[in-house]
A = this chain, B = another copy of it.
Amino acid sequence: MQTLSEENYLKAIYNLDKQGLKKITPTAISEALNNNPASVVDMLRKLVEKKLLQYEKSKGVKLTEKGRNIAILIVRKHRLWEVFLLEKLGYGWEEVHEMAEQLEHVQHAELADRLDKFLGFPEYDPHGDPIPKANGETAVTYKTVLAEIPEGGSCRVVAVKDTSPAFLQYLKKLDIGIGTKITMIEKIPFDSSVIIKLGKSNTTTVSRVFAENLVVHE
């Protein structure tokens, strides 16, 4: 059994790995958890002791099979609870993440599977992230962001990278959600803002930061 804090470290490390970070360092982890590298070093020692990860200064941090399984289960629970909160309790997609951060730590052997079944085995969470299956398999995450689409190209929104209420509320205001079709009209060289067209409606200009946090496909 792990503490809540240990679970959050495992999840953070798992996510950094999924994001493609090749060398996972104490500093990277401390940035993800918004705490101090010294605290991370303490905790890494403890997690190595518990055989949940390996740490060599040259290679960085690697989860063991056991550590990764725990991390996957937490992510699975997190995303399933987000679906529950949105679909069953009617919360908005900008509200569910914070509660899921608490719910993901609720412990019971069958909980994830029962929730999964109750929700009808959803494949994606409200932010477009794939929900790991009971056997631990996870669909590949799309990595292309709107900023990478060439002028004239078009795509559909498949996920958001940033799940902060600020970003999600802005998307809601622009009427952009998972599945929305976007055409890249023009890229402004000065500050990398982009002009896009939503469906067949009017065009909008969004910032570089915006365009780098919207995950698209096609």
Contacts from A to B (Cβ < 8 Å) = 88-91, 95, 98-99, 102-103, 105-108, 110-111, 114-115, 118
Contacts and interface: CB of A to CB of B under 8 A. Distances in A.
B89 A115 contact: yes
Contact of A89 (B91, B95, B98, B114): B114
Contact of A106 (B88, B103, B108, B114): B103
How many copies of the shown chain assemble into the complex? 2
A95 B111 CA distance: 11
Contacts of A95: 108
A91 B111 CA distance: 9
A120 to B, nearest CB: 12
A82 to B, nearest CB: 13
A110 B114 CA distance: 24
Contact of A98 (B88, B91, B108): B108
